[in-house]
Chain A
Amino acid sequence: MSEAIEGDRTFADKFPEEARVVRAALLGSFLALTLGAVFGIIQTLHRTGVFRGLISSTDYYTSLTAHGVFLALSFTTFFLVGLFTWAVVRSLDRPVIDIRITWTWYGLMAAGMTMTGISILAGFVNELDMSADVLFTFYAPLQAHPMFYAGLAVFIVGSWIAGADYFRTWLAWKRENPDERIPLQTFMVLTTMAMWYIASSAVAASVLIFLLPWSLGLIDQVNPTLTRTLFWFFGHPVVYFWLMPAYLLWYTVLPKIAGGRLFSDPLARVVFVLFLLLSTPVGIHHQYLDPGIAEGFKFISMTNTMFLLLPSLLTAFTVVASVEYGARQRGGTGLLGWLTDLPWRDPAFTGMMLAGLMFAAGGFSGMVNAGMNINYMIHNTIWVPGHFHLTVGTAVALTFMAATYWLWPQITNKPIYSRAIGLVQVVVWFVGMALMSNAMHAQGILGVPRRTAEPEYSGFDYPTMFGGFEELNIQIAIGGTLLFVSTVLFIGNLVLTMGNPKISGLAEELPPALSGPDDAPRVLDNLRLWVGIAVTLVVLAYALPLAAIINRGGLLGPGVGTFPVWLTPVLDALANGAAAVVGGVVDASASLAEVVG
């Protein structure tokens, strides 16, 4: 392969060190996906009542915590850091500054997630005095084992170093290329990471200042509204942290696979700047139904949220137009006839397109979630998981899987084992998610709660609309099963791919945009400016609400207790012990009475 000419060399040929990191990150991500899918199918069958034999309803919450953390935090973030490493190195066409730093952040992230993962999974083992059944939102005053929080902190610090790695690599490139525009992919990575620093600062503060010391017993109590607000300060932008790498793929890779090129580079930059500015000052929309937060703050958050629709709506246009351009290049004609001239047999293409279609549907339920007062109708019902399985669970997850079919050969020099299986896999995911998510939305409108092991109640029945509760349960179970099958196909295909021999000729070029970066105003590349504005907006949106929350409840909360989930086994053991003693006494006195009698 060393003889191969420049353009025919894959990423793995040109940057073998970096390719190794990208592979490691992707493999970490797929491990998390596998675990998450196992818990996903277990809980789907459990909550729908189809099969409850595998875990108890108490362990349901251990499973749900694992599913949420492994998929929403681990699968997404590991894929993202791998993808970003590829994107930065590829688009700058230079290696990272120091590969040891790259391995350091990878190691930290892996170590952190392992700690958190162990603390969660230990919840299945009653003998272990460790548990973190607090779900991925870890609302105080439910308290997890300290290792859960410590692991999260280490993981986040690792991601910060990853961000620094990208920035430093870019700065080095900038010194070498002083007058060049930031290449689009690098621009996307840098804006995403800048957003991430702002967003994750709050959850890091919440964990390090409050939750970890509290779980270690150093402070007695915390303010639940404050830690919840700090979580959502992070919790909304994190959904864009998942989404922006998917957008990166839709903007820069999808048009190429479609046979065309990006419609507009400047608009892509505008979209990422809008995300940087607007992703964070909106988190209070997750707290529309919280007491202790004034209605005015909620309204401001809603307004920001609604404008945050703009970058996504613009993306829909730009991406579809880029694909249409590809179709027309391939000879497509007619108003919509060009749709048939697209490479639908390519799993990478079809997967990303289906992911985008699902995202359009998710856009609608997202608008409902964002509409302050209509939130009464669906808040904390299963509608909400219905929504985000369309967004992160498909728009992001399916895009990542589809992109893997395109990217993996370039970081390994091995062709995908079976593209046909890949095609089946992405379609099965789409069908499964359509069933599961649709039924979840419908159940949500009936009032069926999320995060509930047995959502059928003894005292009442749900109203019937769009099919009854039971019927919708069947749909959810079938959909969840298809999703699980799809995950197995994906992982199986990838494992078989690893057994393929290395070949050459897998290199792919990414074409420049129709309207290139020279059309983009220079100011778009002024990251300092955008970060400055982003921070200002965040301060404007959060200073008053946070001050009000602290003012009402105090930094450490208005007389709230501590409810460690991880001490339950100990307490149970104590209770059992006590029961045994009491039982013994009762038995003894009974026999005594007999003797006496």
Chain B
Amino acid sequence: MHIHAYEKLWLAASVLLILFLLGSVTYGAVGPGVAMVSDSEPAIDAGALDEDDRFSEPRVEQVGENEYAAYVVARQFGFQPDPIVVPANSTVTFYVTSADVIHGFEVAGTNANTMVVPGEVSEITVETDGPAEYGIVCNEYCGAAHHAMEGKLEVVSQSAYEERASGGDGE
């Protein structure tokens, strides 16, 4: 089969490009340590979230030294808790599930983004920097008022967080 020399050159360049792309993604995974949402959490009964100790009461909880867990429920058409308040400079793991249909959970303008599927729990861990406020949007169509489905993520200073937590104002 006759292939022109230039085309062979291009073929080689293309393969290099592909390897470069794969290499970048692999670097992202092992260097900065970007991990994918996966099957780390067992399946769950979406119809019985109110009997589940994590999701019957959606909340943020301290689970280790400077480590927090946020148990979030997405349902037509909102997120609980709202706002989600977490301390600055900490490690936060979101466990997000749906009580009804498929939703999205996207902290707008950041890399925190996952599908939310009924019967599954999406687990994503992030490290927060300084205090900041972010919007949360549902980025998967979930029904007639999908566009109204939003929430808030507030990253507050450690002291403000403790104040709010001990103040017990129902976060």
Tell me the nearest residue of chain A to B15, going by C-beta.
Answer: A310
Tell me the nearest residue of chain A to B44, going by C-beta.
Answer: A558
Say yes or no: B14 contacts A310, CB within 8 Å.
yes
Chain B 6-28, CB-CB to A under 8 Å as 1, else 0, gives 11001100110110011011001
Say yes or no: B119 contacts A559, CB within 8 Å.
yes
Contacts of A361 in B (CB 8 A): none
Say yes or no: B144 contacts A133, CB within 8 Å.
yes
Contacts of A455 in B (CB 8 A): 147
Q: How far is the CA of A139 from the CA of B113 in the complex (A)?
A: 19
Contacts of B120 in A (CB 8 A): 225, 290-292, 552-553, 558
Contacts of A451 in B (CB 8 A): 139-141, 146
Say yes or no: B115 contacts A561, CB within 8 Å.
no
Say yes or no: B144 contacts A449, CB within 8 Å.
no
Q: Considering only CB atoms and an 8 Å cut-off, how many residues of chain A contact the other chain?
A: 82
Say yes or no: A460 contacts B135, CB within 8 Å.
yes
Is A177 at the interface (CB under 8 A from chain B)?
Answer: no
Is A201 at the interface (CB under 8 A from chain B)?
Answer: no
Is A436 at the interface (CB under 8 A from chain B)?
Answer: no
Is A372 at the interface (CB under 8 A from chain B)?
Answer: yes
Say yes or no: A310 contacts B25, CB within 8 Å.
no
Contact of B47 (CB < 8 Å), options: A58, A289, A560: A560
Contact of B22 (CB < 8 Å), options: A287, A295, A303, A521: A303
Contacts of A57 in B (CB 8 A): 147
Contacts of A559 in B (CB 8 A): 44-48, 119
Is A450 at the interface (CB under 8 A from chain B)?
Answer: yes
Q: How far is the CA of A293 from the CA of B137 in the complex (A)?
A: 23
Chain B 80-108, CB-CB to A under 8 Å as 1, else 0, gives 00000000000000000000111010111
Contact of A321 (CB < 8 Å), options: B7, B18, B101: B7
Is B63 at the interface (CB under 8 A from chain A)?
Answer: no
Is A446 at the interface (CB under 8 A from chain B)?
Answer: yes
Say yes or no: B114 contacts A289, CB within 8 Å.
yes
Tell me the nearest residue of chain A to B22, going by C-beta.
Answer: A306
Is A141 at the interface (CB under 8 A from chain B)?
Answer: yes
Say yes or no: B3 contacts A561, CB within 8 Å.
no
Say yes or no: A293 contacts B139, CB within 8 Å.
no
| Chain B residues numbered 56-88 whose CB sits less than 8 Å from any CB in chain A | 76
Chain B 129-148, CB-CB to A under 8 Å as 1, else 0, gives 00001110111111111111
Say yes or no: B135 contacts A457, CB within 8 Å.
yes
Q: Pick the most buried of B43, B46, B47, B106: most chain A CB atoms within 10 A of its CB.
A: B43
Q: How far is the CA of A458 from the CA of B83 in the complex (A)?
A: 13
Contacts of A503 in B (CB 8 A): none
Is B159 at the interface (CB under 8 A from chain A)?
Answer: no
One of A144-152, A158-166, A237-245, A377-385 contacting the partner: A377-385
How far in angstroms is the closest Cβ of chain B from A214? Answer: 14
Is B39 at the interface (CB under 8 A from chain A)?
Answer: yes
Chain A 423-457, CB-CB to B under 8 Å as 1, else 0, gives 00000000000000000000000111111111101
How far in angstroms is the closest Cβ of chain A from B26? Answer: 9
Say yes or no: B147 contacts A454, CB within 8 Å.
yes
Say yes or no: A267 contacts B143, CB within 8 Å.
no
| Chain A residues numbered 453-469 whose CB sits less than 8 Å from any CB in chain B | 453-455, 457-463
Q: How far is the CA of A563 from the CA of B37 in the complex (A)?
A: 26
Say yes or no: A225 contacts B117, CB within 8 Å.
yes
Say yes or no: A515 contacts B134, CB within 8 Å.
no
Contact of A141 (CB < 8 Å), options: B14, B118, B144, B147: B118
Say yes or no: A293 contacts B38, CB within 8 Å.
yes
Supposing A141-B100, A371-B21, A559-B45 touch, asked if A520 and B1 sit within 8 A by C-beta, the answer is yes
Please provide the 6 A-B residue pairs with the shortest distance between their CB atoms, ordered closest to farther: A460-B135, A447-B108, A559-B45, A449-B139, A380-B139, A558-B119
- Residues of B at under 8 Å CB distance from A? 1-4, 6-7, 10-11, 14-15, 17-18, 21-22, 24-25, 28-29, 34-39, 41-48, 76, 100-102, 104, 106-123, 133-135, 137-148, 150-152
Q: List 20 A-B contacts (CB under 8 A).
A: A141-B100, A289-B113, A290-B120, A291-B122, A295-B36, A317-B7, A376-B113, A380-B113, A380-B115, A447-B107, A449-B138, A452-B137, A454-B147, A460-B150, A519-B1, A553-B120, A558-B119, A559-B46, A559-B119, A563-B76
